[in-house]
Structure 1
Amino acid sequence: MPEGPDGSAATLDPKEAFQLFSHELRLDILLALRESPDYSLGFAELRRAVDERDSGKFTYHLGKLRGQFVKRVGDRYALQYAGHRVIDAVRSGVFHESPSVDPVAVEGVCPRCGTTPTFAYEEHLATVACPSCETKLVEYPFDPGGFRDRSLGEAVTAFDRRTKYKWRSASGGVCFVCAGRVDVEYADSAADLDHLDRYDDYFAEDHPAVLELGCRNCSFYSYLPVGVRLLDAAPVVGRLAERGVDVDARPLWELPFVTEAARVTVREREPWSVLVEALTPGGRLDVLLDDDATVESVTTHP
């Protein structure tokens, strides 16, 4: 791999970067460095770690990684940020694992019929739905790595927390996949999902409007309930907490302003003006979102 004058990696073509891992020894080298105490090993230690007896072969493949993925520091080879990201992708499980989870009861009640909802997982998609009236409350991709070293209950909690993080970041304009700029716009419906995505029925398909997100840099795109914008708005989060609703402690499917179509009213289009009602034990909040899906005003009602 080409290196700059200071030993850092020169610009690498994306196709070339992927081709680097056509040989399993290169991935073994990264994994060995990842498992070392300080993410670095000497030449002999690293060769033993990957169990490669042929020094020439090992040197050749290690050389292919130097610069972008591995850097020589003194007499040791250290894993670089790009190398960590390669391992992260592998450890997420999305390339080689596809577990399934039969429906299991989770906390909360269905807003339509009062039944306890269930969590299920299939083809990298986690779904919280009502087993009685079949209402889907929340549905979103979740990496198989989320089940590793966790009980099923812990995995459900991890799904909720990770999905909140993703939705907050993306709806705020920052891609959680590549850090690129995400365009956030309103849409009347998530029509594209009918033929382009994994959903059989989009969980917010009955909402009068949704947020359409698309990253300018990578392949990330998504449709989210409009109420997601309340999760990251300090004036809203604070008032909700004062009135007994902790948005971090409550799972997404227990937040009606996210899941229920009746809590969303489109006041205007061109420019957009959308009202979201947040019900709390201490009163109702009316949150008005402007054309940029930013909180314009918050009105408190008893």
Structure 2
Amino acid sequence: MHSRDAPVSVDSDSEQAFSLLADETRLAILRVLADSPNEPLTFSELRERVGVPDSGRFNYHLGKLTGRFVKKSDAGYEIRLAGWNIVGAILGGAYTRGDDIGPVPVDPPCPACDGQVEATYVDEHVTVRCADCDKTILDAGIPPGVLEGYDDASFPEVAERFVLSLFSQARDGFCASCRGRMEPRLVTNTDELAPSDVCEEAQAIYSCTRCREELIAGIGMAFLDHPAVVSFYYDHGVDLSQPNLWGTAWRDKPTLTVVSDDPLRATVDFVVDEDTLTLVIDETLAVHDVERSPAS
């Protein structure tokens, strides 16, 4: 499983928006308004909380934010959704513990060799890798603020839950980075993947049409919340609402088989104990048929 960021082109409207935030006073205004989401603040209240004695200077900076990031009404000033996103990005990048964590031992053992799996967090990236065979199970970018308030022992589970949330949004069609539209596609030829991609068996890719962010994973992640898959695993004592990326749910990872090329159709087999769940999917990862039967 891997998340990848591609180069992003920034249009003039985006550049203008960011230029409005190039001042500490303006960022402080957004922070204060975010601390009072249900309480519009008057000009005087807002200026006092921000701590700017010069009324004219404060009015200038507040005026630059009003409209795009701040809403003005008869009741006072309130933060707009765009302002919320800016404050969220600031808090997401905040981290006071230090950058590096781990290696932290992770259970269960490596699905490839039964060796010890370890998780590390370095340079805003979490990596889950087998210490014995060096198989990489997870490589994903995580904002530092996600891990704030957790101890080292909790780090792997927190990282996993965050990555699950990214894929949940992607499956629903939304980019977690820019809120753009995510387009899913089935990859049947791994030559399409870059040499650096850690998921050598990756068969599901979600690409943002706006910022070009990509999430890459094995085929099982594409159907983690499909009703048939959820009930299938639940019947076998596995709750997929709990962290399972490198846990019991994927130790016998689903297998993909191409059954036709035009139109492209493939089957995905989930096998647990003596049962098999088969999904018939197309190139957009849409499910066309479901069949459950004893394993052959």
Shorter-chain TM-score tier: 0.7 to 0.9
What residue number does 1:136 align with?
136
Query: Equivalences for 1:1-302 in 2 at 5 Å?
Result: 13-36=13-36, 38=38, 40-93=40-93, 99-187=99-187, 188-189=189-190, 191=192, 193-194=194-195, 201-205=196-200, 207=201, 210-254=203-247, 257=250, 260=253, 263-281=255-273, 283-295=275-287, 296-302=289-295
Cα distance in structure 2, aligned partners of 1:68 and 1:97: 34
Distance 1:224 1:82, change over 3 A: same
Query: Counterpart of 2:270 in structure 1: which amino acid?
Result: A
Structure 1 residue 255, shift from structure 2 partner: 5.2
Find the aligned partners of 1:229 and 1:119 in 2 and give their Cα distance: 23
RMSD: 2.7
Kindly state the Cα deviation for residue 244 of structure 1 after the two structures are TM-superposed: 1.7
In 2, Cα distance between the equivalents of 1:162 and 1:192?
24
CA contact (8 A) 2:170 2:176 kept: yes
Q: 2:169 touches 2:176 (CA, 8 Å); kept in 1?
A: yes
How high is the TM-score relative to the length of structure 2? 0.84
SS at match of 1:78: strand
The one-letter code matched in structure 1 to 2:116 is T
Q: Give the superposition deviation at 1:119.
A: 1.0
Q: Which of 179-188 and 17-26 deviates more?
A: 179-188
- Aligned partners of 1:147, 1:138: CA distance in 2, in Å? 17
Instruction: Note if contact 2:115-2:130 (Cα within 8 Å) is conserved in structure 1.
Output: yes
Amino acid at match of 1:284: T
Offset of residue 144 of structure 1: 0.7
Q: Confirm or deny: 8 A CA contact 1:98 1:124 kept in the other structure.
A: no
3-state SS in 2 of match to 1:41? coil
Aligned partners of 1:258 and 1:212: how far apart in 2?
Answer: 21
Q: Retained in 1: the 8 A contact 2:137–2:246?
A: yes
- Listed one character per residue, the Cα deviations across residues 249-270 of structure 1 (whole Å, up to 9, x for unaligned) are 242112565884x733334434
- How far apart, in 1, do the equivalents of 2:128 and 2:23 lie? 40
Amino acid at match of 1:211: A
Q: Residues 190, 56 of structure 1: CA spacing in aligned structure 2 closer, same or farther, 3 A cutoff?
A: farther
Which structure has more relative contact order (CA 8 Å, sep 6+)? It is 2
Post-superposition shift, 1:95?
Answer: 11
8 Å Cα contact 1:108-1:253 kept in structure 2: yes
- Kept in 2: contact 1:40–1:76 (CA 8 A): yes
The structure-2 alpha-carbon separation of the partners of 1:48 and 1:287, relative to structure 1 and needing over 3 Å to count, comes to same
> Residues 212 and 270 (structure 1 numbering): CA distance in 2 closer, same or farther, change over 3 Å?
farther
Q: In 2, Cα distance between the equivalents of 1:174 and 1:113?
A: 36
- Misfit runs of 4+, over 4 Å: 94-98, 255-260
Amino acid at match of 1:218: C
> By how many angstroms is 1:222 displaced?
2.8
Q: Does the 8 Å contact 1:146/1:155 carry over to 2?
A: no
SS in 2 for 1:109: coil
Is the contact made by 1:185 and 1:211 (CA closer than 8 Å) also made in structure 2? yes
Task: Write the distance in 2 (CA, Å) between the matches of 1:215 and 1:97.
Answer: 32
- The one-letter code of the counterpart of 1:189 is T
Structure 1: gaps of 5 or more residues: 1-11, 195-200
Amino acid paired to 2:199: A
Assess if the C-alpha contact under 8 Å between 2:69 and 2:81 holds in 1.
yes
Task: Map Cα deviations across residues 21-73 of structure 1 (whole Å, 9 max, x no partner).
Answer: 11111001101112236353222222122221111100100111111211123
Query: Is the contact made by 2:240 and 2:249 (CA closer than 8 Å) also made in structure 1?
Result: no
CA distance in 2, matches of 1:83, 1:259: 45
What SS class does the counterpart of residue 285 from structure 2 fall into? coil
Q: In structure 2, do the counterparts of structure 1 residues 30 and 190 end up closer, same or farther at CA, with 3 Å as the change threshold?
A: farther
User: What is the match of residue 5 of structure 2?
Assistant: none
Q: Is the 8 A contact 2:238 2:249 kept in 1?
A: no
Q: CA deviation at 1:285?
A: 2.4
